[in-house]
Amino acid sequence: MSSNNQTILLTGCAGFIGSNFIPYFLDKYPDYNLVNLDLLTYAGDLENLKECEDNPRYKFIKGNICNRELVEFIFNEYDIRGVIHFAAESHVDNSIKNPSVFIETNVNGTFTLIDVAYKYWMKKPFVYKSRYQDCRFHHISTDEVYGTLSDDPKELFRETTPYAPNSPYSASKASSDMIVRSYHHTYGLNTVITNCSNNYGPKQHDEKLIPTIIRNALTGNPIPIYGDGKNIRDWLYVLDHCKGIDLVYHRGRKGETYNIGGRNEKTNLQIANSICNILDTKYPIKENKAIRNSKLNIQNYKDLIVFVEDRAGHDRRYAIDATKIETELGWRADESFESGIANTIEWYLSKYGVFK
Instruction: List Cβ neighbours of 121 (8 Å cut-off, separation of 6 or more).
Output: 128, 129, 132, 135, 189
CA-CA distances (angstroms) from residue 66 to 107, 199, 230? 9, 25, 38
> Rounded to whole angstroms, how far apart are CA atoms 99 and 172?
9
Q: How far is CA 162 from the centre of its chain?
A: 21
> Rounded to whole angstroms, how far apart are CA atoms 75 and 103?
24
- Known catalytic membership, residue 280: no
- Of the candidates 175, 171, 9, the one whose C-alpha atom is nearest the C-alpha of residue 86 is 9
Q: How far is CA 123 from the centre of its chain?
A: 33
Q: Print burial letters for 283-298: b (CB count within 10 Å at least 16), e (below 16).
A: bebeebeebeeeeeee
- Known catalytic membership, residue 159: no
- Known catalytic membership, residue 338: no
3-state helix, strand, coil in the chain (%, to 5): 45, 20, 35
**Which candidate in 58, 89, 118, 144 is catalytic?**
144
**Which candidate in 169, 200, 249, 318 is catalytic?**
169
Strand pairing of 191-196 and 257-260?
parallel
Residues noted as catalytic: 143-144, 169
